[in-house]
């Protein structure tokens, strides 16, 4: 840390477009086909959907037994350098899935789970609202604002080693359209 120095400051939250835009992909279909045929295919990508149809929301059922074991193992793991008590991860109230089509001419559509930190954190801010009002606010933010036609919306997508063909939306990038 002592060797780091600030060489420039961002002018706006979207000023990094010059570095990000060149790596945007338009075909989720091609990305999925690549992981099926090549174990070394990319597991992360920034994807620009052609049409974002919807965000589906459903109550989160809570952690399954395997997920709960992992959370418990983390909470119970000692850290020699940090005596701070670990807090178990709480399941969000709702799960979400984006439905969209990519730029592949033969695309039949994609439905990908949302694992984005902002999606979960926003739900915590809405904890005092009814389920109906929470769903409304989630749709307003993650479909209305993030996927507004005036935005150049892209999804950060990633997979896991266990299920290489299954990609999830792990983040959103939505600068204004030019």
User: pLDDT tens-digit profile of 24-57?
Assistant: 999 999 999 999 999 899 999 999 999 999 999 9
Range of the domain at 162: 17-63+92-173
User: Considering the domain boundaries, does residue 73 fall inside one?
Assistant: no
**pLDDT tens digits for range 124-168:** 999 999 999 999 999 999 999 999 999 999 999 999 878 888 999
Q: What angle do CA 102, 16, 24 make, to 5 degrees?
A: 20
User: Considering the domain boundaries, does residue 6 fall inside one?
Assistant: no
**Which two three-digit tokens encode residue 173?**
């990038």
User: Considering the domain boundaries, does residue 118 fall inside one?
Assistant: yes
Q: For 123, phi and psi rounded to 5 degrees?
A: -65, -35
pLDDT for position 51: 96
User: Considering the domain boundaries, does residue 79 fall inside one?
Assistant: no
Q: What angle do CA 107, 111, 117 make, to 5 degrees?
A: 130
Q: Sign of the C-alpha dihedral, residues 14, 151, 49, 96?
A: positive
pLDDT: is 84 or 104 the higher one? 104
**pLDDT tens digits for range 64-98:** 999 999 999 988 888 878 878 888 888 999 999 99
User: Considering the domain boundaries, does residue 3 fall inside one?
Assistant: no
pLDDT for position 7: 85
pLDDT for position 15: 78
**pLDDT tens digits for range 4-29:** 888 877 777 777 888 888 899 999 99
DSSP conformation letters of 84-97? PPP-PPPPPSEEEE
Instruction: Domain count for the chain, please give it.
Output: 1
User: Considering the domain boundaries, does residue 72 fall inside one?
Assistant: no
User: Considering the domain boundaries, does residue 58 fall inside one?
Assistant: yes
User: Considering the domain boundaries, does residue 9 fall inside one?
Assistant: no
Q: Which residues contact 108 (CB under 8 A, 6 or more apart)?
A: 101
């Amino acid at each position: 840390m002592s060797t780091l120095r600030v060489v420039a400051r961002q002018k706006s939250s979207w000023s990094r477009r010059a570095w990000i835009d060149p790596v945007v992909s338009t075909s989720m279909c091609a990305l999925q086909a690549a992981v099926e045929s090549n174990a070394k295919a990319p597991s992360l990508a920034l994807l620009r959907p052609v049409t974002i149809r919807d965000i589906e929301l459903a109550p989160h059922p809570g952690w399954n037994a395997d997920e709960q074991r992992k959370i418990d193992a983390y909470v119970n793991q000692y850290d020699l350098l940090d005596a701070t008590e670990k807090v178990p991860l709480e399941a969000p109230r709702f799960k979400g899935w984006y439905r969209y089509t990519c730029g592949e001419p033969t695309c039949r559509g994609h439905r990908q789970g949302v694992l984005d930190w902002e999606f979960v954190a926003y739900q915590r801010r809405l904890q005092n609202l009814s389920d109906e009002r929470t769903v409304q606010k989630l749709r307003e933010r993650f479909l209305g604002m993030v996927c507004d036609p005036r935005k150049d919306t892209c999804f950060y997508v990633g997979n896991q080693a266990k299920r290489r063909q299954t990609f999830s939306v792990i983040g959103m990038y939505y600068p204004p359209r030019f």
